[in-house]
Amino acid sequence: MYGFYKRPFPSPQFVCLQIFGIDWFRDNVQLLVLTAHMNTVELRLLLDKPEAIPPEPFAAFCSILEFCMQCVETADFVPDEPALQLAKNIGEAVNFVVEFWTDCAQHNINLSNEVNACIYRLTVCVVAVTGQNMIRPELFKKAAIMLVRECTRQLNSKQLQTSRHILTVLDEIADALRGNEDVKQELADLTNRLHI
């Protein structure tokens, strides 16, 4: 999961998560909740200036968010209350990042290819794990368009592995694109290019 990002930002949390994995939090679940919360705050601060987002730290924060989501989904040692807190933090962060992404597109703010790729991967990961439940429905309709267009960009850039992430969420994207025939055609063209 974490090998996707190039030159990850070496924050202590990121390094520990890479080395120790989920078990690092087994004896202190509140540390996991705090890590998720701090990660959400850091993501918001990092996205304050869209034209100057440093790709490496952003990729690391996205990785931490994915890791926290993995903990909620798979860790048997996370009790219900901390799991709910984690899910809330993850949901807030994901919705913030995805809304940021769609707003930038709407206002013609160009993000770097690395940042777009990170948001694409994060969004696909969230939808693959939780369905589209974690992202607000109206926001996911906009995000589905962004996913199709970013996947096309990835494919045009010969980033086949990254572009293929979309395959795990095709049904959710197709559902979100109901009534948007132009983008549905883009999705059909894209799936043909991916040889599906």
Residue 8's pLDDT band, with cuts at 50, 70 and 90, is very low
Q: Residues 48-59: pLDDT tens digits?
A: 989 899 999 999
Domain map of the chain by residue range? 2-193
In 3-state terms, the chain is what percent helix, strand and coil (to 5)? 80, 0, 20
Q: Residues 163-183: pLDDT tens digits?
A: 888 888 999 999 999 988 888
Phi/psi of residue 5, nearest 5 degrees: -80, 135
pTM for the model stands at 0.86
